[in-house]
Amino acid sequence: MLSIKRVPTVLSNYQEERAIELIGCGRNCLGKCCLPASELPLFAFKNDPRPKASSFGTDELPPDFFLNTLLLGQWEDRMNRGLFRYDVSACETKVIPGEHGFIAQLNEGRHLKKRPTEFRVDRVLQAFDPAKFNFTKVGQEEVLFRFEAAGGDKSLFDENAGVEAGNSPTVVAINVSPIEYGHVLLIPRVLDCLPQRIDNESFLLALRMAAEAGSPYFRLGYNSLGAFATINHLHFQAYYLAVPFPVEKAPTEKIPIAEGQSKGGVKVSRLMNYPVRGLVYEGGNNLKDLADVVANSCIWLQTNNVPFNVLISDSGRKVFLFPQCYAEKQALGEVSQELLETQVNPAVWEISGHIVLKRKKDYEEASEEYAWRLLAEVSLSEERFQEVKAHVLEAIGLVESKDEMIHRNEKTGTTLESAPTIPPTSFPEGCLILQ
């Protein structure tokens, strides 16, 4: 059986099995044994996250409350309590010289080896396994607040809200191995023990969080299984970085859609002049329209075993979707030894242009050529990308304009054909990853 050796990312202080065995139940965790009787701060978001023209009244939260006062304030409180595995503010960061402005960070704290566990990389959809680490085993001190719908036109905050019996709350918790300032996890309906798979409801929730933050420098990311998600329990990641990601500056080309077709005003484009081929979604009459189009695209990918990563940008108004194949290439021995030795597994942050390096040598020698070469290994080939794109558009009820396709194919010398069937994954059977 072929295995890929990997250094794990520890997201919680309770992730090591030995710690779980020693502490056991009754330690104020997020499981059914403790959470229903707990009080956790509650941020209840409003129905319409778009700012109103008038200023807020005395009974309303300030516009910057969610991000600056609550999320980052609580995150700093956990940092002062010593709950993180290292001080991320001490990590060196630089913008790599060049046209694209890739960002390199030296984070040797994420290079710590732990006890290996087996993790399949050849299946995007896998059943939830309660025997493995999941977020119900996290201690409540790592939780910043609950994030749930208010059901009205105002956002509300209750510092001592009780968890109602039978309710499975969505929580925002710290990532104890942070990549950047404010690095948190959004865990939808934690007690439902959902596997790492996107659905319409959970994706809308992630867009709501981006909209509530209201900052172009606060982004959310998602990694599917097979695209370097490390825990099979539904979660999104988010953090604050006060510079644009390179992918946010990359040009895009709108995909021409056949006349008369529309999906809630959502525009779909493809990335241009970027090492990873991807789709870009933006606009929409409201957040739900955008969430449904992106979520349905992701559902097709995960159902058809295509690993992918998602970046939510521009306060929830723009979403980048990257089908990827790096783990597949690793398993087939198609990645150079030089890249493998860096132990960089490109997930959503790396793909977006924020590359976390674990060795000082790699950080000091980082160049735009290296970053481009690494990320190019992640990307589907042009032919495979076109196949996937055609199926994704079909899944969301859109058809690319044939006139435009003919014009494009004339320039490339190819013929116009209907979307071919996606071939089965090239992963060796039973491929495992050692975390």
Residue 30 in domain: yes
Residue 144 in domain: yes
Residue 5 in domain: no
The predicted model gives 392-401 an average pLDDT of 92
Residue 326 in domain: yes
Q: What is the CATH number of the domain that holds 160?
A: 3.30.428.70
Amino acid 60: pLDDT = 78
Amino acid 56: pLDDT = 42
pLDDT tens digits, 117-140:
456 778 999 999 999 999 999 999
- Is pLDDT of 3 > 60? no
DSSP-assigned letters across all residues of 108-159: GGGG------EEESS-S-----TTS--GGGSBGGGEEEEEEE-SSSS-EEEE
Dist CA 308 CA 346 (whole Å): 11
100 labelled catalytic: no
Dist CA 347 CA 225 (whole Å): 10
Dist CA 208 CA 47 (whole Å): 9
Dist CA 231 CA 197 (whole Å): 11
Are 315 and 411 spatial neighbours (Cβ–Cβ below 8 Å)?
no
Which residue shows structure tokens 């105002």? Answer: 154
Structural domain that includes position 119:
10-52+59-434
3-class state of residue 201 by DSSP = helix
Residue 358 in domain: yes
Cross-sheet strand order for the sheet of 432-434: 3-5, 432-434, 118-120
Amino acid 68: pLDDT = 93
CA distances from 135 to 128, 338, 348, 387 (A): 12, 35, 20, 36
- Exposed, middle or buried by CB within 10 Å (0-12, 13-18, 19+), for 101? middle
One of 183, 235, 354, 391 is an active-site residue; which one?
Answer: 235
Dist CA 183 CA 186 (whole Å): 10
Amino acid 387: pLDDT = 97
Q: What are phi and psi of 306, to 5 degrees?
A: -110, 110
The predicted model gives 1-18 an average pLDDT of 54
Among 22-36, 110-124, 282-296, name the most confident range.
282-296
Are 40 and 144 spatial neighbours (Cβ–Cβ below 8 Å)?
no
172: tokens are 């925002």
Least confident of 107-121, 133-147, 158-172, 420-434: 420-434
Higher pLDDT, 3 or 180: 180
pLDDT tens digits, 364-392:
999 999 999 999 999 999 999 999 999 99
The predicted model gives 194-223 an average pLDDT of 97
Amino acid at 354: H
Residue 4 in domain: no
Give the relative orientation of helices 287-303 and 200-213 as an angle to the nearest 10 degrees.
Answer: 130
Dist CA 423 CA 141 (whole Å): 46
Dist CA 283 CA 377 (whole Å): 30
- Is pLDDT of 253 > 80? yes
Total domains in the chain come to 1
140-160 b/e (C-beta count within 10 Å ≥ 16 → b): bebbbbbbbeeeeeebbbeee
Least confident of 16-30, 76-90, 197-211: 16-30
Give the residue from 176, 129, 160, 142 showing the smallest Cα distance to 30: 142
pTM of the model as a whole: 0.88
Dist CA 61 CA 56 (whole Å): 7
The pairing of strands 103-106 and 318-323 is: unpaired
Dist CA 379 CA 322 (whole Å): 8
pLDDT tens digits, 159-191:
988 888 788 999 999 999 999 999 999 999 999
Give the residue from 221, 229, 213, 284 showing the smallest Cα distance to 247: 221
57: tokens are 């009244």
Predicted confidence band of residue 402 (pLDDT cuts 50, 70, 90): confident
* Number of other residues whose CB lies within 10 A of the CB of residue 402: 11
257: tokens are 């859609």
Q: What is the DSSP letter of 1?
A: -
Which residue shows structure tokens 């402005």? Answer: 101
Amino acid at 335: V
Predicted confidence band of residue 410 (pLDDT cuts 50, 70, 90): low
The predicted model gives 28-37 an average pLDDT of 89
